[in-house]
Amino acid sequence: MAPITPAQDLFNLSGEVALVTGASSGLGARFAEVLSAHGAKVALAARRVERISALAGRLKHAMAIELDVTKPESYEAALAAAEARLGPVTLLVNNAGVANTERFIDTTPETFRRVQETNVDAVWHLSQAFARRLIAGKRPGAIINIASVAAFVVNETPAAYAVSKAAVQQMTRAMALELARHQIRVNAIAPGFIYSEMTTDYLTSEAGKAMLKRLPQRRAGDPSDLDGTLLLLASAKASGFMTGSTVVVDGGDMLA
């Protein structure tokens, strides 16, 4: 039996190079900070260059990469830029995402396509580009997809967003099965309601406050509530035998 690994070593990400999409604010910015604080070199990818540049300047061994995830033709250049500066990328966090407010009957084809392009297509194609580079270099690695409890329940969630996150959850399983033989782990985090740039207006509205009262913990999560799950899935020492899993972090929302 293997010796016990101390917690400070279990989540030590020294030697890892992570690329985090949607890193200009909210969960993406927090993920980049947490990974950096635990030893990883981090490439922050987003469209808002001024924001990711400022954040990269505050982190150790970090860089900013302008990236619009709806443009697959830019993925190779982004991965190459990260590798040239930080080393081969070993960890991909597919965090970039968009939401919509329309209910099913009112969702236009344009809105539906916009949500799917960012939340589904980008995860698929960027993961492909990342995995191909790992396989060509015969390197192990990990993909962390950001799903949502909306993949399982749709109570307060617009249909287009729920459909996109259900796709991410199933995509995680399919990718994990195919990539396991290459020592590439693929897992997902399914957050419940978390305060972020995307959700704060709703969560602080009267409707949002009423919704929060129905949750078992009577609160929305803070981005820091995802720190431990992120580190678990990022660390090969902590989750090396874990792939195809979606970890729900929702304050009991799915129980209600």
- Give tens-digit pLDDT for 11-66: 999 999 999 999 999 999 999 999 999 999 999 999 999 999 999 999 999 999 99
For the cut 90, the answer to whether the pLDDT of residue 132 exceeds it is yes
Beta carbons of 25 and 197 less than 8 angstroms apart: yes
Q: Is 38 within the bounds of a domain?
A: yes
Taking a C-beta distance cutoff of 8 angstroms, is the pair 9, 231 a contact?
no
What is the DSSP annotation of 200-228? HHHHTSHHHHHHHTTSTTSSPBPGGGGHH
> Residue 158 sits in a domain of what CATH number?
3.40.50.720
Total domain count for the chain?
1
| Residue 3, domain member (yes or no) | no
Q: What's the rounded Cα separation, in Å, for the pair 56 and 58?
A: 5
Active site residue 161: yes
Q: Which residue range forms the structural domain that includes residue 20?
A: 14-247
Residue 57: predicted pLDDT: 96
Looking at the domain assignment, is residue 25 inside a domain?
Answer: yes
Q: Which letter does DSSP use for residue 74 in this model?
A: G
**Cβ distance 253 to 199 under 8 Å?**
no
Is 142 domain-assigned? Answer: yes
DSSP strand pairing (141-146 vs 41-46): unpaired
Q: Please identify which residue in the block is written with the tokens 């982190």.
A: 59
Residue 242 lies in a domain: yes
Q: What is the pLDDT of residue 2?
A: 83
Q: Residue 107: which residues within 8 A CB-CB, separation 6 or more?
A: 100, 158, 159, 160
What global pTM score does this model have?
0.96
User: Which is catalytic among the residues 75, 161, 195, 202?
Assistant: 161
CB atoms inside a 10 Å sphere around CB 58: 9
Write down the pLDDT at residue 29.
Answer: 97
Each residue's pLDDT tens digit, 166-197: 999 999 999 999 999 999 999 999 999 898 87
- pLDDT value at residue 150: 93
Supply the pLDDT for residue 7.
Answer: 87
Other Cβ atoms closer than 10 A to 15? 11
User: Cα separation of 14 and 127, whole Å?
Assistant: 22
Please name every residue paired with 166 in a beta bridge, in sequence order, or none if there are none.
none
1 within domain boundaries: no
Q: In this structure, is residue 27 part of a structural domain?
A: yes
Nearest to 120 by CA among 76, 150, 155, 87: 150
- Domain assignment present for residue 255? The answer is no
Which residue, among 8, 190, 21, 34, has the nearest Cα to 118 in the 3D structure?
Answer: 21
Q: Out of 23-32, 89-98, 148-157, which region has the weakest mean confidence (pLDDT)?
A: 148-157
